[in-house]
Structure 1
Amino acid sequence: MEELMKDITKNKLSMFAAAKKYGVPRQTVRSKLTGRTAVDATIGRPRILSQVEEDSILYYMKYRAERGFPTSRKTVLTLALTVHLRYCAENGRAPKIDPQKGFARKWWMGFRKRHSTMIAQIDSLYKVSRKSADKMKHFTDMLTTTMAKEDLTGQPHRIYNADEVGFDLDSEMEPLTFAKMNVPGAVIRKGSHDHKLSCLECVAADGAAIPPLITFSKSFPPTDDSAEGPDNALYAATPSGFVEGDVFMRWLQERFLPFCSPVRPVLVLMDPGSTHVTPEAIDFASKNDIIFMGLSFRTSLIRHPLDLPFDRMKKKFDRLVEPDSVITKASFCKIYAKGRESVLSKAVIKKAFRKSGVYPASASNEVRRSDDLDEEEEARYQALLPEEREIIAHAKELEDEEFNCHKGLSHSATPEVFSWTNSDEEETTQPLQDDAEGPSWMPGFFTESNEDAYPTRTTRLGRVSGITVVFDGTTVEEYLGVPYAAPPTGPLRFKPPKAAQPWQGVRNVSTFGNSCMQTRTRYGPVSEDCLFLNIYVPVNGSDATQSRAVMVYIHGGRFNYDTALSFNGKWLATRGDVIVVTLNYRLIVFGFLSTGDRSSPGNYGLMDQRAAIVWVKDNIANFGGDPNRVTIFGESAGGMAVSMQLISPRTTGLFQRAICQSGVAMTPGAINYNPLAAARKLCEYLGCGTDDPAGMVSALMDMDADELTQAAAVFTGNFTRRVWLPVIDGDFLPEEPARYLESAPLDGRQLLIGCNNDEGGAQVGDGAPASHIVDRQSFEYYLNSSLFPTYPKNTQKIMEAAMYECGVWEETDPEVLRRAFAQMYGDFEYLANTVQKANLYSQRNHPTYMYLFTHRPSFSALPEYVEASHGQELYFLFPDLRGNDPDSLSVEEEALSRTMIKYWTNFAKTGNPMLPSSSDLPTDWPQYVPRFGQPTTKQYLTLKTNMTGDDISSNLRPKKIYFWTEVAPALESIPQSTCEPGISASPAVLPREAMWRVCAIVLALCFIK
């Protein structure tokens, strides 16, 4: 340990590198350096999964628990493996865990300790007394609450029960058994061993039946044979013969969704221990407005409506199957269809729902007599076949006690078991204990609910209930998935956002809402119904007795991808003592389709952002926020959006400050100046007419959202430009931003602005477009492609001038060319326009502060010559961004993170990054003020590790700024007839005429200091 500490303190080795070199856990090193134990310290193997994966596991755990599906350790281990494998597949990574072995107990213990508060809250969702009566009452309360909330009362066609039964044959060729019922003497031909069959049935409370799923082991009957089975049945084969997750998903997609009620949402009641409620099923259900709910734990024998028809089916099979008959797979389908047809009648199904107390909802499960039926049901009863009457009559004779303790139903009455899978030990099985405190080996999973764990706040639309977490010693209330506008679906597609509808009661906002439709799949479930925001409220900070400043974050992603859930606001909330709001807004074609006229003006994504800011202005006081101290901030496309909100006449009075990080409205590629062309290409691709803009929009309104997303992805643009972008619509953006900024109503707002010193570095990383630069020709190709969208007339001449100014006039070394491309791309795309924005804004006497972020993160995977690339400053404001391990920050980086958060939140509070407190800040940050001819003109702060008072500089890269803001536009304005034609096939030799022009430009640049 002494050698390790010496390497860090004297040799300046990072904490991450030192921990790796000496084989010591990073947390141990951090504790040694800081002299304290970090909050949420872990045990065992703490970081097998990324933060994104662990957050996903918690999301699915909470989903299951909220809907009555207890989450045992075995379930969590299965969830973890599923999430990890899916995450690796989506990101092209090799799994860290052997799928055959799964996760070990040590990981589980570390996971529980890292997320102890959240897991305790999840546990409390389904903690109920062990008494069956209490369990049934708990389930009934949950059911009635859900029915009232989702308007399911009096809607039996939207309430379903799904359950499965099994057939099996052991290796001794014993008789076939139907679940726990016997069919004497029946055998299966061909000598199958351990032959199993499963049937999944699903029925509605109005008596309707969904086509079943019949699963065979290894293979299933040919189509012509299975045609004699139940109508529209889905047949599948699995190694075990049981219904497995992928088969269940097929049934959901191909049978349940087409045959269930078109009115949404629909409720599906299932066994509480169901293994079918997988991440894939949860995502599918969320997307299609399907609500899964578990029946009361370990009383599902009593509450399953389908158990009554299954029991009646036993007698039907006794009559249909002769002793010693041979049952093939095909004949089984035929026999099952006959039994099912007579047993699953509407009358029996409705009786089963009534008897089980599911519909109408009741905590008891009385068997109702025929004289209790309403007139309609009585008429149906009289019309039944004799054998169906016999079944119902038999059901009437059953006493409750007999029904409750049936042993012949489709669910085992034995205690549920929890299996421990450990790579270091054999699997052991331990039954669930009956003590009220829960198993001793599972501490915290059956803890008492903390009444403060679900804080409630009031909005103008209704009350909301969130969750409480403790982070970095501060309690934070999180309200996730709060709707700020109506779902932009149906007739509201391609329309400005409308106000959300109010709700009755308390709305649960403890989980993230859907992400907006996009072409990338790693950002959670996506839907058109995505206009949600998330609020992070610190409740015991230094400002606890007064209103807090509010910071509203707008995510980037080129207006084409990303989501609010990527950005955890707890870091800024706790360390800066502010309220943080993150939001979703419509992306790609849904947010930025424009025909350039009234048919579709465009800018719907920007209008969504404005609607969210309006919601904050109207409601944040009820969360302890100050509506007169609202700061909007964003990075990349988020910074561009912030810049557009700043100058828009539609946002006057909505916020007081703005922070633009690596993106402004003048950034090349921030605005599409020819949106109609993109709309026509999209319609042409989809087979719509392209002559009439109104007709085009009408056709796109009727398109399926997924189909429209896939088509829009074809026309997203190249690596430097996108086509689904904001437009100059004459309303939200009245005219070109640089020109409009000269007279825009800025409303006295303060601005903090900046970028990174190597913004183009990401373009040369592994797999990035410019990483393919291998010679002079490919270098010029990529540079030309970058410049052409902005300078289409004289691209070649501007490219030649840029190469000369950058010092690569005749360079041929690929690495030097890649580095030069990264520098030119970053200067052209981000740096020059950031400085231009700061100049224009400060010249109007509005307080402006500028920064340059220069620190290369210790965990950066970009080439060594790349310093601070695009977006890398975000890891110091949101340290767990996109699964990053916060512990990967070195001690110096941790200090930089806290410094940046202090600057950012100070600015949000007062409009000055040095106030209200600067005692722990490394250096003063002066305003960015144009003082032409003076050494203190245009001062900016360099953000890096180990900051000192010498980190204030003036006049950032003046030659490069002048070239891209003055020279390049001047060259573009030269009539094309005086310029050489576009890029040549062999660009190694420059034309003489171009040489003279470049020399003239260089002479002009020489006079710039």
Structure 2
Amino acid sequence: MKTSPIPWVLLMLFVFGSTQNVVRQTQYGKIRGLIRTSRINPNVKFYHFLGVRYGRAPVESLRFQEALPPTPWTDIRDATSPGNRCVQLSDEFAGDQVLGDEDCLFLDIAEPITACKNHHRKMLPVMVWIHGGSFLFASSSETQPDPLMEEAVVVVNIQYRLNVFGFLTTGDNYAKGNMGLKDQSAALIWIKHNIHNFGGDPRKVTIFGGSAGGASVQFHMLSPRSAGLFHRAISESGITFGTWVFQTKPEQKLQQLAAALGFDRTNSETLVRKLQGVPADILLRTAFNQSITGPYILFDEVPFIPTIEHESSTAFVSERVFELIKEGKIAKVPYMLGQVSEEGSFPYGYIDSGTIDINEYARNPELFIPISMNIPKGDSCINETVVAIHQFFFDNGSFTDKSNWIKMMGQDVRGIQKSADLICANYPNFPIYFYEYVFVGTNSLNYEGGAGHYSEVLKLFYPVKEGWSTALTPADRLVQRRLVKIWTNFARDGYV
């Protein structure tokens, strides 16, 4: 049921769609999409299917549980408007308005028309986009596939449960955790069984994502749950080597949430049943209350994000990622990963506004040590490492110097380079590619004179999120076409 309000800017997207209906068969029933004209190139047309259900509504007793397949239908379901976004706050750190709906397990499919005229293959490569947003925010509708539709690929944008709904865990079988990542796997299973009806080749699936989506991509490479569901992978400005990716104290956060709601933690079954009865808006606001989150520390863990599960046949990840890579438990598929030139600069506005207390780093300088260095907490070399960081990045000056702070954060805090190095060191013949995006365009998220976090995403997609510009200069357009060509070539051939 699609009941949540859709911002008018998103509704405008579909005014440009043709009234001519397009019907496709899925294993659960028929859906009706529409024909769209690209807003990047008016000569390009494509089929678009929106709000396609891949999972049953995870509500009531299904909250915190694995997604179930959709219930089959006999009529023709509408797929011409977006599905609900998953439940989230209206602003990343200060907002109180709750957006979206728990019934949000939808995906969008774009099938090229114009690009197929010169394409002689029966089945096209498939590119599955996993959105970012710190595992807390965003939706599939914020990035539209218009630029990619200039090439002969099928593009799928997927949604997954976020925050407490996607990542709460009791550490046992009553709420196993990582449901947001398991939602993504459920979407990949749906794609495997249905994408041929949209011209896509289920044997040539590329998963790609930015920020938390990029980290999700690497999670799938490390998880047995996703084995065989994809054949290439691209991580953009996001990797599993980061404190912002893992919650290391999930039991503590669960206890704090239970206490804030007046529930007893003693019995997991009883607690989960009570949590399943809490209205979604109350549960979300409580989960993101500062009494549980603590002061916001950039790149540090927030309460409800991926966790290491207890070992079981259904676990998504049950070992530390360093060990998984060293043990060879990583999908041996062509892999591209990279970053922008000013990766650490995107929180500049949060520093100026005071949302991020930069003094917290002066009080606790060990926060500067990136998880990619693999130094356990309490290790004897922590002080020595902090001194080296202080000298190298801050010239022994103040830890609160914003310019130096941003340079430090952009170097290794996301662990992207370290991840590539570790894979290459353990597997010299691994088909891996590394990129750095440096172009400063008119619609890039530019900070401090360089390309900021997520800038390349605004070239690969047509951005519709409020505050994201769609203006393109000739230089922007040239870079966009080159970037799209590189990404789609990789999806088709496995190399660039």
TM-score band (shorter)?
0.7 to 0.9
- Paired residues of 1:874 and 1:881 also in contact (CA < 8 A): no
Residue number among 128, 131, 139 corresponding to 1:563 in the alignment: 139
Matched residues in 1 for 2:29 and 2:360: separation? 58
Task: Work out whether residues 753 and 851 of structure 1, in 8 Å CA contact, stay in contact via their aligned partners in 2.
Answer: yes
1:526 to 93, 96, 100: 100
Q: 1:603 to 1:514 in 2, by over 3 A?
A: same
Q: Which amino acid aligns with 2:308?
A: I
1:798 pairs with 2:385 = yes
- State the distance in 2 between where 1:867 and 1:505 align: 51
Residue aligned with 1:872, SS: coil
Deviation at 1:684, TM superposition (A): 0.5
2:420 counterpart of 1:838: yes
Cα shift readout 1:478-525 (whole Å, capped 9, x = no counterpart): 100000011111111111111111001211111101011112269995
* Match in the other structure for 1:456: 23
Q: 1:725 — aligned with what?
A: 305
1:612 aligned onto 2:187: yes
CA shift for structure 1 position 835: 1.8
Partners of 1:468 and 1:476 within 8 A in 2: yes
Give deviations 1:906-962, integer Å, cap 9, x for gaps.
00011012xxxxxxxxxxxxxxxxxxxxxxxxxxxxxxxxxxxxxxxxxxxxxxxxx
Matched, 1:641 2:183: no
Give 1:699 shift.
1.6
Tell me whether 1:867 sits opposite 2:450 in the alignment: yes
Aligned position for 1:491: 61
Using a 3 Å threshold, how does the CA distance of structure 1 residues 834 and 531 change in structure 2: closer, same or farther? same
- Counterpart secondary structure, 1:466: strand
Q: CA deviation at 1:807?
A: 4.4
Partner of 2:431: 847
Task: Specify the alignment match of 1:546 in structure 2.
Answer: 122
Q: Which runs of 5+ in 1 are unaligned?
A: 1-51, 63-114, 122-452, 914-1009
Q: Report how far residue 780 of structure 1 moved.
A: 2.0
1:39-188 maps to which residues of 2 (within 5 A)?
55-58=9-12, 117-118=16-17, 121=19
Provide, for residues 714-742 of structure 1, a one-character-per-residue CA deviation record: whole Å limited to 9, x for no partner: 13452422121111113211300111112
- In structure 2, which of residues 151, 154, 175 is the aligned counterpart of residue 576 of structure 1? 151
Name the CA distance, whole Å, in 1 between partners of 2:439 and 2:147.
Answer: 20
Q: How does 1:36-435 map to 2 (within 5 A)?
A: 55-58=9-12, 117-118=16-17, 121=19
Give 3-state SS (helix, strand or coil) of 1:700's partner: helix
Instruction: Specify the alignment match of 1:84 in structure 2.
Output: none
Query: In the alignment, is residue 708 of structure 1 matched against residue 275 of structure 2?
Result: no
Between Structure 1 and Structure 2, the one with more helix by share is 1
Bigger mean CA deviation after superposition, 725-734 or 691-700:
691-700
Counterpart for residue 50 of structure 2: 480
Could you tell me how far apart the structure 1 residues matched to 2:160 and 2:235 are? 18
TM-score in terms of structure 2 length: 0.87
Q: Distance in 2 between matches of 1:808 and 1:512?
A: 51
Identity over aligned pairs, percent: 29
CA distance in 1, matches of 2:164, 2:328: 28
Deviation at 1:788, TM superposition (A): 9.5
Question: How far has the Cα of 1:781 moved from its partner?
Answer: 4.1
Matched, 1:593 2:168: yes
Instruction: Give the 3 Å change call, closer, same or farther, for CA 878–781 of structure 1 in structure 2.
Output: farther
Residue 470 of structure 1 is matched in structure 2 by 37
Q: For residues 773 and 500 of structure 1, what CA distance do their matches in structure 2 show? A: 44
Separation in structure 2 between the aligned mates of residue 859 and residue 732 of structure 1, nearest angstrom: 37
What's the counterpart of residue 80 of structure 2? Answer: 510
- Letter of the structure 2 residue corresponding to residue 748 of structure 1: K
SS at match of 2:89: coil
Equivalent residues of 2:10, 2:141 under 8 A apart: no
Distance 1:862 1:782, change over 3 A: farther
Matched to 1:793, the amino acid is G
Pairwise CA distance, 1:881:
4.4
Aligned-pair CA distance for 1:806: 1.6
CA separation of 1:906 and 1:725: change in aligned 2, threshold 3 A: same
Q: Kindly indicate whether residue 473 of structure 2 is the aligned counterpart of residue 893 of structure 1.
A: no
Distance 1:798 1:840, change over 3 A: closer
* Structure with the larger RCO, 1 or 2 (CA within 8 Å, 6+ apart): 2
CA–CA separation in structure 2 for the residues paired with 1:502 and 1:894: 43
The 1:861–1:491 alpha-carbon spacing in structure 2 relative to 1, beyond 3 Å, is closer
**Per-residue CA distance 1:313-353 (angstroms, 9 max, x = gap):** xxxxxxxxxxxxxxxxxxxxxxxxxxxxxxxxxxxxxxxxx
Q: Is the 8 A contact 2:142 2:464 kept in 1?
A: yes
Structure 2: how far apart are the matches of 1:853 and 1:878? 15
CA distance in 2, matches of 1:761, 1:835: 17
What SS does the aligned partner of 2:235 have? strand
Partners of 1:672 and 1:727 within 8 A in 2: yes
Q: Taking structure 1 as reference, are residues 862 and 550 closer, same or farther at Cα in structure 2, changes over 3 Å only?
A: closer
Name the residue aligned to 1:418: none
Per-residue deviation, 1:892: 1.5
Output the amino acid matched with 1:556.
G
Equivalent-residue separation in structure 1 for 2:189 and 2:370 (angstroms): 38
The unaligned stretches of length 5 or more in structure 2 are 1-5
Q: Secondary structure at the match of 2:430?
A: coil
CA contact (8 A) 1:484 1:532 kept: yes
Cα shift at 1:876: 1.4
Residues 649-677 of structure 1: per-residue CA shift (max 9 Å, x gap): 11111110100011111223211122111
Mapped partners of 2:477, 2:198: distance in 1:
29
3-state DSSP of counterpart to 2:451:
coil
Say whether the 8 Å CA contact 1:756–1:869 is kept in structure 2: yes
- The CA distance in 1 between the partners of 2:481 and 2:365, in whole Å, is 38
Cα gap change, 1:759/1:781 in structure 2, threshold over 3 Å: closer, same or farther? farther
* Aligned equivalents of 1:877, 1:866: Cα separation in 2: 21
Letter in 2 for 1:840: L
Partner of 2:397: 810
**Counterparts of 1:625 and 1:769 in 2: how far apart (Å)?**
46
CA contact (8 A) 2:351 2:357 kept: no
Q: Secondary structure at the match of 2:61?
A: helix
Give the TM-score of the pair, scaled to structure 1.
0.44
**In structure 1, the residue corresponding to 2:165 is in which secondary structure?**
helix
Give how far 1:585 is off.
0.3
Pick closer, same or farther for the CA change 1:703–1:786 going to 2, 3 Å: farther
SS in 1 for 2:478: helix
Instruction: Give the whole-Å Cα distance in 2 for the aligned partners of 1:874 and 1:561.
Output: 16
Structure 2 CA distance for aligned equivalents of residues 874 and 604 of structure 1: 25
Q: Report the residue type matching 2:112 in the other structure.
A: P
Aligned CA RMSD, in angstroms, stands at 2.7
Q: Match of 1:559, as an amino acid?
A: F
For the 8 Å contact 1:761–1:866, the answer to whether it is kept is: no
TM-superposed deviation, 1:758: 1.5
Distance in 1 separating the partners of 2:321 and 2:10: 40
Matches within 5 A, 1:813-832: 817-830=401-414
Deviation at 1:575, TM superposition (A): 2.1
Q: Deviations over 1:243-279 (max 9, x none)?
A: xxxxxxxxxxxxxxxxxxxxxxxxxxxxxxxxxxxxx
Relative to 1, partners in 2 of residues 1:786 and 1:512: Cα closer, same or farther, differing over 3 Å? farther
Compared CA separation, residues 793 and 630, structure 1 to 2 (3 A)? same
Deviation by residue 1:372-411 (Cα, 9 ceiling, x = unmatched): xxxxxxxxxxxxxxxxxxxxxxxxxxxxxxxxxxxxxxxx
Question: Could you say if the C-alpha distance between residues 778 and 856 of structure 1 is closer, same or farther in structure 2, counting changes exceeding 3 Å?
Answer: farther
